[in-house]
Amino acid sequence: MSSSKPVRTRFAPSPTGSLHIGGLRTALFNWLYARHSGGQFILRIEDTDQKRYDPDALRILMESLTWAGLDWDEGPDKDGPYGPYVQSERLALYQEWADWLVTNGHAYRSYETPAELEASRKAREAQGLPPGYDRGHRELTAAQIAAYEAEGRPTVVRLKMPLTGEMHLPDALRGTVTFDAGQLQDTVLLKSDGFPTYHLAHVIDDHFMEISYVMRAVEWLPSFPIHWQLWQSFGWEAPAYVHLPVMLNPNGKGKMSKRNPPRDAHGRLIPVLVHDYIAAGYLPEAVDNFLANIGWNFGGDREVFSMAEAIERFDLTRINEANSAFPPDKLDWLNGVYLREMPADELALKLRAPIEREGWTASDEELRQIAPLVQPRIKTLNDVVEMAGFFFREPFIPAGDEQFAAKGLTPAQAAALLDKARAALEAVPGWTHEALEAAMRELAEAEGLKVKDLFNPLRSAVTGQLVSPPLFESMAIIGRQASLARLAATSARLAGNEAS
């Protein structure tokens, strides 16, 4: 199934919290298809669930989409000919068309009280019947309706679904999908508070906003018959429905959930919300590339591509209908690729945020010097904290004895070696990484040591770490005074430990 209308896709999140990473993937697919087709991508806010409404969620949703580069053509902050784009501002339209459905025999008003519904539920359970509404008010007489109205009972509007037979519905990705009408419910369309349910609101909005493709998660497939019945009842041309595969936990069991956060093969928690990925130091380009790879195939076995390239190729035939496990290691790898390809000056600007979150300060010049050193070694922006924190951490934390013991050195031997290195370094006239390395290679030869047997203890003394960016480039950035002070402090601590 495809649509004969101009391509207009939409992303319609509920403002009930931060955007789920799976929601971002759904938005990405809609955006890619709209851009590929020269159509429009619309942001619509479905805020009819007032109990779960979060006043901060709209801002967070829009921040997440903007971070990912998914610009919309019409939305709450970008007016268009089909607004408003927030459902709570469209209530009169839903009520009008709910009344139309009742008047024309496609829906009915249901007057049961909560207590009556609960009694019905228990009766069905006792009879071994499946749960759900028993259609008790589907065929009320005019007299019964008048009596309930006279009581002032709250009412809901329910859709009249077929009672028997099968429904054969078209899905642009999955082909014809068949449902047993006897298993379907007369679902609520309009609640007693005057707010519509998702079922009614999205059909009316998609019609009046001229949406031509509804691309949403396959979790909505069981509700597809309700929505199709609404399109048929209204007599409107339905958009093409595309039920996208969902992202599963890395083990392939169950979808990713913020209530039960998944873990990777190393036991680490995997972020579920988009803002967590932002805070974790992932790049939007990498996240977009990663999400596009889950459930869609660029072709030619390519895994790294820009969104401009994806737009050129994005079509529905390349979407895989099967659900896919979320591969966190692949995202780390992709993010590393994008970090390494980034201009060093641009990376320097991005490193400021994780450094300042630690309470450290760094000058622009320091960041420009450090960026090319860490660039080949980090997978996320936040890795700079562990890799290069020794540049900024005050007071400096010297390496423990275990780092030198791992190199086969007692505290006294390590202290003596560092004293010799410090004396040689004090004599170096120009504090450049070339001059520093030359001096230490000369010392290693004079002492009859392999280069690594000097460089590794020196690294631990200057950085406090076993692993760091290139040693002598790091020392050049730290500077003569601070580097020599760190060597002296580490040596003194080692000598003191030996004496005690």
The answer to whether 440 and 454 have CB atoms below 8 angstroms apart is yes
Q: How many CB atoms lie within 10 A of CB 376?
A: 11
- Examine the residue annotation and report whether 258 is marked as an active-site residue of this protein: yes
The answer to whether 491 and 415 have CB atoms below 8 angstroms apart is yes
Distance CA 349, CA 353 (A): 8
Catalytic residue among 5, 191, 255, 258: 258
The answer to whether 107 and 204 have CB atoms below 8 angstroms apart is no
The packing angle between helices 411-426 and 451-463, to 10°, is 90
301: which DSSP letter?
T
Distance CA 345, CA 371 (A): 7
Residues in contact with 246: Cβ distance below 8 Å, sequence separation at least 6, in sequence order: 22, 217, 218, 219, 255, 323
CA 18 to the chain's CA centroid: 9
Distance CA 97, CA 375 (A): 58
Token reading at 350: 């991005």
Distance CA 231, CA 167 (A): 13
Tell me how far CA of residue 478 lies from CA of 436, 440, 448, 487, 493, in angstroms: 13, 17, 28, 12, 20
Distance CA 80, CA 271 (A): 35
Beta bridge partners of 263: 269
Distance CA 126, CA 120 (A): 10
Q: Which amino acid appears at position 426 of this protein? A: E
β-pairing verdict for 156-159 and 166-171: unpaired
Task: For tokens 């002032």, name the residue.
Answer: 152
Distance CA 61, CA 67 (A): 10
Q: Please state whether the peptide bond connecting residue 395 to the residue before it is cis, i.e. omega within 30 degrees of 0.
A: yes
- What dihedral angle (degrees, nearest 10) is formed by the CA atoms of 230, 244, 46, 250? 140
Distance CA 74, CA 498 (A): 71
Q: Please state whether the peptide bond connecting residue 84 to the residue before it is cis, i.e. omega within 30 degrees of 0.
A: yes
Beta bridge partners of 45: 86
Radius of gyration for the chain, computed over Cα atoms and rounded to the nearest angstrom? 32
Map residue 4 onto helix, strand or coil.
Answer: coil
Residues tagged active-site:
258
